[in-house]
């Protein structure tokens, strides 16, 4: 059996307990990583000092049955492995400090060459953060920008959903193998992304979501993208780890300003203080992407509000000033609840306003 370089790294990646560093040591020790397959046992042991368990497992698993099983199960699950030796391997990822040797990709649409922006943030998102993640993702999707995120709860989920709602492209990066849905409650969303985008992971099929996988996963999120948006992050947060990677990798970092009293916005606000780009509108991002990609907005929104009645415009103007609760709209405009509710429905259906928990309405940009 002739194993190519790419087959070797996929095989190595499936050795139980192996980490990125181990493969890196092997690649540095041998002139060509293909040699691992036939090399003398002592060389492998030498290459992996202090990792005798792993080297033992490599030696043990140097059989063709194991390799066939790996490729069989990848085929069965419709998973495409991309190794660093493949031309299809995303070039943006290749340029980072420690690119994964293999990434596993699953989905109907695989494209790493369009402009990609990652949207990250805390799982304990506030309604404001969720709204912002959804809104920016949707707006960026309209410009043909793909959204990358980590498929976690909170901000990540809203980012993905926003991209899908804007009929855009989105990539989810998992901290576990592609053989499972994680978190389980995002099953429907993950399936949707399989259809309209793709999900990737550097871990082989059945790897469980271990704690230390997630910071490592974040280097891929930032590595694949042209810029990273931090929507909401408390002072200690995975999103800030992503921002750190993005800085190391030379990507743009955008942070959404938040209420200074809100603990979930502290991290993002501090990033702004430390020099991240402040994110106020989607154009802030588009302007920067324009130097690298041809940018065209897909469907221009009609600008004139011809389709609103006077009363509707009055209500809309009140909402536009500030997100506002329904009872305060009644108080301010003097319109009765029975008349105001229909107006709010119309504005909502026509896409001018959004509803937030607590019957608070916000204007859509």
- How many C-beta atoms lie closer than 10 Å to residue 39's C-beta? 18
Tokens 């095989």, residue? 11
Which of 5/262 has CB closer to another protein?
Answer: 262
Instruction: Please give the Cα distance from 217 to 221 (Å, whole number).
Output: 7
Kind and range of the H or E run holding 23: helix 20-29
Rg of the chain taking only CA atoms, in angstroms: 24
Closest approach, Cβ 286 to another protein, in A, equals 26
- Judged by CB, which is closer to another protein: 263, or 278? 263
Closest separation between CB of residue 100 and another protein, Å?
Answer: 28
* Rounded distance between C-alpha atoms, residue 74 and residue 138, angstroms: 32
139 contacts 301 by C-beta, under 8 angstroms = no
Shortest separation between residue 235's beta carbon and another protein, angstroms: 14
Q: What is the token pair recorded at 353?
A: 């306003």
Query: Residue 1 or residue 188: which is nearer to another protein going by CB?
Result: 188
Paired with 252 in beta bridges are 227
Query: Which residues in this chain contact another protein in the complex, by CB under 8 A?
Result: 123-124, 126-127, 153-154, 185, 259, 261-263, 323, 325-328, 330-331, 334, 336-346, 348-349, 351, 355-360
Query: Helix or strand or coil: residue 70?
Result: helix
For another protein, the closer CB: 32 or 261: 261
Pick 172 or 227: Cβ nearer another protein: 172
Alpha helices in the chain (DSSP H): 5-13, 20-29, 41-47, 52-60, 64-76, 91-94, 127-142, 155-165, 187-196, 213-224, 238-248, 266-273, 283-289, 310-321, 326-333, 337-349
Supply the minimum distance, in Å, between the C-beta of residue 349 and another protein: 5
The nearest distance, CB 171 to another protein, in angstroms, is: 22
Least distance to another protein from the beta carbon of 270, Å?
18
| Nearest to another protein of 12, 268 (CB atom) | 268
């Amino acid at each position: 059996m002739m194993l190519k370089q790419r087959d070797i790294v996929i095989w190595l990646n499936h050795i139980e307990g192996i980490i990125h560093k181990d493969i890196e040591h092997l690649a540095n020790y041998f002139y060509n990583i293909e040699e691992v397959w036939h090399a003398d046992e002592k060389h492998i042991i030498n290459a992996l000092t202090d990792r005798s368990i792993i080297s033992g497992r490599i030696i043990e698993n140097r059989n063709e049955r194991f390799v066939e099983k790996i490729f069989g199960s990848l085929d069965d699950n419709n998973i495409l492995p991309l190794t660093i030796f493949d031309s299809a391997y995303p070039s943006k990822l290749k340029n980072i400090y420690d690119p994964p040797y293999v990434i596993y990709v699953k989905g109907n649409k695989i494209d790493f060459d369009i402009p990609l922006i990652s949207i990250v943030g805390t799982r304990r998102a506030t309604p404001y953060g969720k709204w912002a993640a959804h809104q920016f993702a949707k707006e960026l999707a309209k410009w043909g920008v793909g959204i990358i995120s980590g498929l976690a709860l909170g901000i990540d989920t809203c980012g993905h959903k926003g991209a899908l709602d804007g009929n855009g492209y989105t990539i989810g990066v998992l901290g576990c193998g592609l053989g499972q849905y994680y978190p389980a409650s995002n099953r429907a969303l993950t399936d949707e992304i399989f259809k309209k985008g793709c999900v990737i992971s550097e871990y082989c099929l059945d790897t469980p979501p271990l704690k230390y996988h997630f910071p490592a996963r974040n280097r891929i999120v930032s590595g694949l993208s042209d810029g990273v948006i931090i929507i909401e992050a408390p002072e200690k947060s995975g999103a800030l780890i992503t921002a750190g990677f993005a800085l190391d990798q030379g990507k743009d970092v955008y942070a959404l300003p938040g209420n200074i009293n809100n603990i979930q916005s502290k991290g993002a606000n501090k990033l702004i203080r430390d020099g991240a780009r402040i994110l106020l509108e989607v154009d802030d991002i588009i302007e920067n992407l324009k130097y690298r990609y041809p940018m065209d907005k897909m469907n221009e929104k009609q600008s004139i509000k011809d389709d609103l009645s006077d009363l509707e415009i009055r209500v809309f103007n009140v909402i536009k000033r500030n997100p506002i609760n329904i009872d305060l709209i009644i108080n301010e405009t003097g319109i009765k609840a029975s008349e105001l509710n229909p107006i709010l429905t119309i504005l909502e259906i026509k896409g001018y306003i959004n509803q937030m928990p607590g019957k608070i309405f916000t204007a859509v940009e």
